Amino acid sequence: MWRPRVLIAEDNCDLRLLYTFMLSGAGFDVSTADDGREALASLREARPDVLITDIQMPVMDGLELIRRVRDETELSDLPVLAISAMGDDYLQEALMAGATETINKPFDPHDLFDRVLLLLPKQGGH
CATH code where residue 108 lies: 3.40.50.2300
Confidence (pTM) = 0.93
Per-residue model confidence as pLDDT tens digits over 34-86: 999 999 999 999 999 999 999 999 999 999 999 999 999 999 999 999 999 88
Sign of CA dihedral 51, 44, 38, 58: negative
Sign of CA dihedral 26, 28, 34, 39: negative
126 within some domain: no
| Residue range(s) defining the domain that contains residue 41 | 5-119
Reported as a pLDDT band with limits 50, 70 and 90, residue 108 is confident
Cα dihedral value 89, 91, 93, 98, nearest 10: -160
